[in-house]
Structure 1
Amino acid sequence: MDMLIFQLEKQNSKPLYEQLYNGIKNAIIQKQIEVGTKLPSKRKLAEFLNISQTTIEIAYSQLLAEGYITSVPRVGYFVEEIDELPYVEKIQETNIEIPQKEQKQYQYDFHPGKVDEDSFPFALWRTYVKDIFDISSKELLQMGEPQGEIELRNEIANYLFQSRGIYCEPEQIVIGSGTEHLLPMILRLFEDNSILALENPGYSAIPRIHLNNNAIPISVDEEGLIVDELEKTNANIVYITPSHQFPTGAVLSATRRAQLLKWASKDTNRYIIEDDYDSEFRYIGKPIPALHGLDQNNKVIYMSTFTKSLMPSLRVAYMVLPHHLLMKYKEMFSYYSATVPRFVQHILANFMKDGHFSKHLNRMRKIYRKKHDKLKHTLSTYYPEVTITGDQAGMHVLLSVPIDKSIEQLKQLANDCGISITPVTNYLLKPIEYEHPTFLLGFGGIPLNEIENAIHQLMRCWGIQKNP
């Protein structure tokens, strides 16, 4: 063939090999070089273009890798026949502005998922991070156990026994990067025709995780999930937050706990998924025992996270599987890799082993109790017309406002004042008529000394007069 003629710009920011590669590739695509044509040798082309053979070799190697040319040992490189459609070049559009979702900064954010940033033990945590990223931990560069590191599972098992009355073996624990990761795994352990029941209102991500969209909503009242309603359905799995129902804050009563466990025991295919997401923070009475600790028939799959107790960004959750489901889990997911980095798991395990997790929890309980009490005191003292419910535990309360405005209007008014607040309607699986507009009032992320002012500012935005 005639020597390839390409304009290579040595002052161009694009490397010479890339210019050459693009030139030959485009010539092949546009049929300027016929199929079967032998390309010049690296030496001859280098001399002709006055560039190094290495540049030619890199360009040819890329063309070879992408299938534009083929190599015949001791003969040379030849143009390959290519299908037209896959190789049609996209027109490069420049200066395309992709709209970015604006992240509004709020003066006060009452989101229920916020934690107290100022109280996190950064210096102590940094020590554990530095200690684990060391040559002595080089084995952590390799893949770990699919269920999670045994060191962390040991610590979680000890913690559950001491704090939640749950006896389980580390082998029953599976660690994952969040409820959103673990729940689909749980659901795959059951038959395809299984039917899931969910609390209404409830955790808003669950319906999206449950892709079959055949979940049955079960109403919640001041005693938690209405089990009588569940018993009238054909559901065989129920997802529940019994210790602090999300978002209402209701605690599943002792009578309904017994009723729910009895419901599960009546059929071999019935199970309860217990999400104990923020059981650590309770302000009235004794801690509520976990359903799992009361279960005598291995019908409860326990789940929890470190989202509220440490930080949402840690992305460490875990579940405890009954032994018979554990065997099925190992058959189905033995090829899975752990979704939480091994280094992160060991940092957390060491933090727990040395007693710092328990100390941190005790400290945060006191901080959140003070915030909780300040929130309740401010509302009850200055705004007695509003109603607070779900205030026994957790890091938010439900606030009902007797005002002649819609939920959307009130949300927008708060937004205009630099305040973010979440309506309870965000968590409905099916519509519920509320007597008054109702919102989740999270206090975890607002500093203690600003809670009173945050409440006053919110009420001013809504036109609610302060009680003198």
Structure 2
Amino acid sequence: MLLFQLEKDNEKPLYDQLYNGIKEAIISKKIAVGEKLPSKRKLADFLNISQTTIEIAYAQLLAEGYIMSKTRVGYFVEAIDELPYIQQDTITPFIEYPKKKTYKIDFNPSSIDIDAFPFQTWRKYAKDLFDNASKELLLTGEPQGELSLRTEIANYLYQSRGVVCSPEQIVIGSGTEQLLPMILRLFSEDTCFALENPGYPAVHRIFAQHKRKVYPIAVDEEGIMIQTLEKTHAHVAYITPSHQFPTGAVLSATRRAQALNWAAQSSTHYIIEDDYDSEFRYTGKPIPALHALDRNDKVIYMSTFTKSLMPSLRVAYFVLPPKLLATYNDVFNYYSSTVPRFDQHIVANFMRDGHFAKHLNRMRKIYRKKHDKLTTILEKYSASVKITGEQAGMHILLDVQHTLTEKQLQQLASQAGIGIYPLLDYRLDPSEPSKAQFLLGFGGIPVQAIEPSIEHLMDCWSIQKNHPSITK
């Protein structure tokens, strides 16, 4: 007779306890294959439980193949294959990955001002869409993204960046990390690429993961050095001409012409223009996109709503030249857009009714105020620090004259609860730099906190304010 310890005050039902007990006995060979189980009546009497409980437990064992039933004879243990049951003490322990470090003061260049987002307006558009009238949005949409959003993007690019394109040339996806691999697949595997050095780390990783040949091209105060590019065997150059990341350099007019001439020299040459934060410029007139100057259809334009709206939205897009659009349609004829249709329509309606333009105008004023505050405060320390890349974007590049190395200065700041980001982290060739340079993002720092934050940073580096000049 089967003897199982059934706990009637346990939260687990009696039939479940009995089922598990018999199953474990079969697996551990305590009940032999072919052995007959007690009848429901006998086992119910022995365990002092109802026959219904026995019936439910037997039914589950029968359904899972642990036992078999012979009509008018009873239940018998089935022969089961050996299963790789793992003892509890041999289970691989859970790997706990290090948590992302948080700081009291964080100069992260990817941060935005989350307090200024128009939640009320955004909520209205979201609420209006989640309705029976929009039930068709539950179905799969257009592979390149919703036509309404692609139309709004095309209009916006023409008005703000001088980019002339049709909605049919635009492909929408969930971020640069998803779109860039798609662009890479438009070129043969032996295509060589040129990348700015320093540059965006995620882009470096994408090219490495896809095993693409890469030529690092140095950047100076005029942007990527085209003369160096011309000496390589690169076919495609990935650049950030309007505000080089991370140095902040703006590609000069001369080099823009040189870059477009390089692209026009060969049918296999193209430029990928990443226009990631062109909306925010603080010096002079807005600079047209490189795509706007292209007369030979050699520029693939990329951008995102990460800085202009929010990073978590995960909406980005690229504009393909007509020749590459035909290749795209052949390669990605199975593709489905990775951005939810509801999100796309919220953005499209938000843009259509002029709220995107209003939001950008407001954010330009907010970021300009922060930018001016930051640069003004840093001028007080100009004997020891130098600012570059301040014409646009939401970060500046800080050159620090100090006896300590870049890594040592970063460690001091970290110990003081301050997050700063060394230029070394963005280089393709991470050799020890000759001078200390850091990205200082100001987008996510409240304007009233900028001055004390800078003072705290300078204090931990023991950098004093400039001495007032002595006049005779």
TM-score by length of 2: 0.87
2:119 aligns to what?
122
Residue in 2 aligned with 1:368? 367
Aligned-residue offset at 1:383: 3.5
Is 1:91–2:112 an aligned residue pair? no
CA distance in 1, matches of 2:265, 2:76: 72
> Structure 1: how far apart are the matches of 2:129 and 2:244?
37
Q: Return the alpha-carbon distance in structure 2 between the equivalents of residues 466 and 297 of structure 1.
A: 52
- Structure 1 18/206 Cα, relative in aligned 2: closer, same or farther at 3 Å? farther
Give yes or no for the alignment of 1:152 onto 2:143: no
- Alignment match, 1:206: 203
1:346 aligns with 345
CA distance in 2, matches of 1:185, 1:134: 33
1:20/1:332 CA distance change after superposition, 3 Å: farther
Q: Which residue of 1 aligns with 2:225?
A: 226
Contact kept in structure 2, 1:207 and 1:213, CA below 8 Å: no
Deviates more, 1:427-436 or 1:442-451: 427-436
Deviations 1:106-165 (A, max 9, x none): 221111001011111122212222222222222222222222222211111111111111
1:175 aligns with 2:177: no
Displacement of 1:105: 3.6
- Structure 1 residues 59, 80: CA separation in 2 closer, same or farther (over 3 Å shift)? closer
**Offset, 1:436:** 2.3
Which one-letter code corresponds to 2:445 in the other structure?
A: I
SS at match of 2:219: strand
Q: Which amino acid aligns with 1:127?
A: K
Residues 23 and 419 of structure 1: is their aligned pair in 2 closer, same or farther, counting only changes over 3 Å? same
Q: After superposition, give the CA deviation of every residue in 1:233-284 in whole Å (9 maximum; x if it has no partner).
A: 1111211111100000011111111211221222222221111000000111
Amino acid at match of 1:143: T
The sequence identity of aligned pairs, in percent, is 63
Bigger shift: 346-355 or 27-36?
27-36
Q: 1:14 Cα shift?
A: 4.0
Aligned equivalents of 2:116, 2:194: Cα separation in 1: 37
Shift of the alpha carbon at 1:34? Answer: 6.3
Partner of 1:51: 53
Question: Displacement of 1:348 after TM fit?
Answer: 1.3
Distance 1:53-1:175 versus aligned 2 partners, 3 A rule = farther
How do 1:407-426 and structure 2 match up within 5 A? 407-426=406-425
Query: Could you tell which deviates more after superposition, 391-400 or 269-278?
Result: 269-278
Q: Secondary structure at the match of 1:239?
A: strand
Between 1:162-171 and 1:16-25, the stretch displaced more is 16-25
Alignment CA distance shift 1:92-1:462 (3 Å): same
Asked if the contact 1:164–1:290 (Cα under 8 Å) also holds between the matched residues in 2, the reply is: yes
Rounded Cα–Cα distance in structure 2 between residues aligned with 1:146 and 1:174: 8
Paired position in structure 1 for 2:28: 30
Q: What is the CA–CA distance in structure 2 between the aligned matches of 1:252 and 1:78, rounded to whole Å? A: 81
Tell me the distance in 1 between the aligned counterparts of 2:37 and 2:216.
68
Partners of 1:183 and 1:294 in 2: CA distance: 22
Give matches, 1:448-459, under 5 Å.
448-459=447-458
Query: In 1, Cα distance between the equivalents of 2:247 and 2:12?
Result: 59
1:42 to partner: Cα distance: 9.8
Q: Which has the larger radius of gyration?
A: 2
CA distances 1:303-362 after superposition (whole Å, capped 9, x unpaired): 111111011111111111222322322332232332222221121111111111110001
- Structure 2 matches for 1:132-147, cutoff 5 A? 132-147=129-144
Whether the aligned pair in 2 keeps the contact of 1:18 and 1:59 (CA below 8 Å) is no
Q: Helix, strand or coil: the match of 2:242?
A: coil
CA 1:48/1:375 → structure 2, altered by over 3 Å: closer, same or farther? same
Distance (whole Å) between structure 1 residues aligned to residue 107 and residue 385 of structure 2: 17
Q: Does 1:328 align with 2:327?
A: yes
Q: Is residue 43–residue 53 contact of structure 1 (8 Å, CA) maintained in 2? A: no
Task: Name the stretch that deviates more: 341-350 or 441-450.
Answer: 341-350
> What is the root-mean-square deviation in Å for CA atoms of aligned residues?
3.2
Q: Partners in 2 of 1:166 and 1:287 — Cα distance? A: 13
Match of 1:300 in 2: 299
In structure 2, how many angstroms separate the alpha carbons of the residues matched to 1:31 and 1:463? Answer: 73
* Larger deviation, residues 15-24 vs 457-466: 15-24
Partner residue, 1:436: 435
In the TM superposition, what whole-angstrom CA distance separates every residue of 1:60-105 from its partner, at most 9, and x where no partner exists?
Answer: 54x26xxx689999x99997765536x3345278997764634444
Tell me which amino acid in the other structure corresponds to 1:145. E
In structure 2, the CA distance between the partners of 1:100 and 1:186, relative to structure 1 (3 Å rule), is closer
Change (3 A) 1:333 1:303: same
SS at match of 1:51: helix
Q: Does 1:165 align with 2:162?
A: yes
Distance in structure 1 (CA, Å) of the matches to 2:136 and 2:56: 38
Instruction: Please state whether the residue corresponding to 1:372 is helix, strand or coil.
Output: helix
Q: Is the 8 A contact 1:20 1:59 kept in 2?
A: no
Q: Which range is displaced more, 110-119 or 290-299?
A: 290-299
Q: Per-residue displacement from partner, 1:401-459 (whole Å, max 9, x unpaired)?
A: 11100111111111122211000000000146644200001110111111111111110
Query: Which residue identity does 2:404 align to in structure 1?
Result: K
| Bigger mean CA deviation after superposition, 411-420 or 138-147 | 138-147
1:398 maps onto 2:394 in alignment: no
* Other structure's SS at 1:286 match: coil
Instruction: Please tell me the residue identity of whatever aligns with 2:10.
Output: N
Give the Cα–Cα distance (whole angstroms) in 1 for the partners of residues 149 and 54 of structure 2. Answer: 55
Aligned residue number for residue 267 of structure 1: 266
- The AA in structure 2 aligned to 1:191 is S
| Partner Cα separation in structure 1 for residue 109 and residue 216 of structure 2 | 22
d(CA) in 2 for partners of 1:345, 1:252 = 32
Summarize the Cα distance change of 1:91–1:446 in structure 2 as closer, same or farther, 3 Å threshold.
same
Task: Give the paired residue count.
Answer: 461
1:17 and 1:59 in contact (8 A); partners too: no
- Larger CA deviation: 332-341 vs 269-278: 332-341
- Runs of 5+ consecutive residues of structure 1 not aligned to the other structure: none
CA distance in 1, matches of 2:27, 2:100: 44
Is residue 458–residue 464 contact of structure 2 (8 Å, CA) maintained in 1?
Answer: yes
8 Å CA contact retained: 1:17, 1:58:
no
> Is the 8 Å Cα contact of residues 381 and 463 (structure 2) preserved in structure 1?
no
**Quick check: 302-311 or 34-43, which moved more?**
34-43
Once residues 368 and 93 of structure 1 are traced to their aligned partners in structure 2, the CA distance between those partners, rounded to angstroms, is 55
Closer/same/farther in 2, CA of residues 168 and 457 from structure 1, 3 Å limit: same
2:115 aligned with 1:113, yes or no? Answer: no
